[in-house]
Amino acid sequence: MEDEKRSENYKAGQSAQEVGSTHVPLCYEVPHSQRPNLDSTFATEVPLVDLAALRLTATTVGPSGRSAAIRTLRQACLSFGIFQIVNHGIEQSVLDKAMNAADEFFKLPGNEKLKLMSNDVHKSVRYGTSLKDGVDKLQFWRVFLKHYANPLNDWLQSWPPNPPTYREDMGAYSSQVQKLALELAEGITESLGLSPKYMSEKIKDGMQVIVVNCYPPCPEPRLTLGLPSHSDYSCFTILHQSSPGLEIKVDAQDSHCSWQLVPYIDGALQVLIGDHFEVLSNGFYKSVVHRAILNSEKTRISIASLHSLGMDETVEPAYELVDGDHPKAYKGSSFKDFLDFLSVNSDAFAQGKVNFLDTLQLN
């Protein structure tokens, strides 16, 4: 069996997870130190933020007031780099239709999806099974569709025409989650002690990247991952998932307990702080390190909406957060800088050997 596993060579569109392989080939096996301990996986206490409270006026008092919601946001960003949100304003029907559109896309015949396959990380629409199919030595048990989404009318016609409702249903979700992002940008910057409008206009005109991930059932989920350990290059990511599978890395003395599963709450969305908000905050807020684990029973789908400034617009530490006790800790970078970095470091990035954020740190 080991010889068979070692000799397997998958062509684009015929990867192990796509064809329903009955075992995990060696090219998918992550090092022992990175393998999930599914027996000890448990849910962590990720903060829950009620956005209804965030929408109250600044003068509202009491435990349900806006000031309390801002404090909850601050503590979540300081301690976890992630929080869950309810009363976010996106109707359940919109969430369900987006998830169904994603599911229907991944059920399309392989030759239909291959029309969108590309290894060019700069492309505005691309399908793949790895960062660079046929190039990266280490593979992961997922397939994905990635496309730009803001302004929606500029990109919608470049999205997949099939399934027939994909553009309409995913477009409705993308539009609503972009509005939600503006609200969150105001809350997060206010929690930093900055003006609520500090970044909202730039986010409004900035990049929104929709990444639709499909994690098919895996016959040996202890050997591999859906996505490796990483932090997102965005300011923040809003995640909609069909079932549990998102793990975050937390500080713990016992290394076996350092990865904890984010609990699944029906109808809630997850907000993950990204590298550019860590830079903006001058390190006060940390981008959350996370990964995707697998199961052997059912497909998991996630829809990640990554929000950042314009393609070439640089994010630097806010001058209000730099002083003698807190010198500037990061150099500036843009969305394009990350794509350029990823273009030449995809395999090392996938193996956890390089990290974009490390290249931005000063001293």
Tell me: the pLDDT tens digits for 212-249? 999 999 999 999 999 999 999 999 999 999 999 999 99
pLDDT tens, position by position, 267-280 = 999 999 999 999 99
| In a domain? residue 243 | yes
Quote the CA–CA distance of 220 and 218 in Å, as a whole number: 6
| In a domain? residue 200 | yes
Q: Edge-to-edge, what's the strand order for the sheet holding 269-273?
A: 48-50, 82-86, 269-273, 236-241, 300-308, 207-215, 143-148, 125-128
Question: Which residue range forms the structural domain that includes residue 324?
Answer: 36-360
Q: pLDDT category, 316, cuts 50, 70, 90?
A: very high
Q: pLDDT category, 9, cuts 50, 70, 90?
A: low
- b/e code 184-203 from CB counts within 10 Å (16+ = b): bbbbbbbbbebebebbbebb
* Mean pLDDT of the chain, nearest integer: 90
Q: Which residue has the higher pLDDT, 287 or 251?
A: 287
**Which token pair is 358?**
């490390």
| In a domain? residue 342 | yes
Query: What letter does residue 119 receive in the DSSP assignment?
Result: -
| In a domain? residue 288 | yes
Q: What is the 3-state secondary structure (H, E, C) of 134-182?
A: CCCCCCCCCEEEEEECCCHHHHHHHCCCCCCCHHHHHHHHHHHHHHHHH
Q: Tell me the percentage of the chain whose pLDDT exceeds 70.
A: 91
For residues 226 and 215, the answer to whether their CB atoms sit within 8 Å is: yes
Query: In this structure, what CATH number is given to the domain that contains residue 102?
Result: 2.60.120.330
- Predicted confidence at residue 255, as pLDDT, reads 47
For residues 359 and 233, the answer to whether their CB atoms sit within 8 Å is: no
- Predicted confidence at residue 361, as pLDDT, reads 94
- Predicted confidence at residue 1, as pLDDT, reads 43
Domain count, the chain: 1
For residues 151 and 179, the answer to whether their CB atoms sit within 8 Å is: no
| In a domain? residue 24 | no
Beta-bridged to residue 306, according to DSSP, are 209, 237
Quote the CA–CA distance of 23 and 221 in Å, as a whole number: 10
Taking the model in full, what pTM does it have? Answer: 0.93
pLDDT tens, position by position, 32-60 = 989 998 876 666 789 999 999 888 754 54
**Which token pair is 357?**
């954020």
| In a domain? residue 13 | no
- Predicted confidence at residue 358, as pLDDT, reads 92
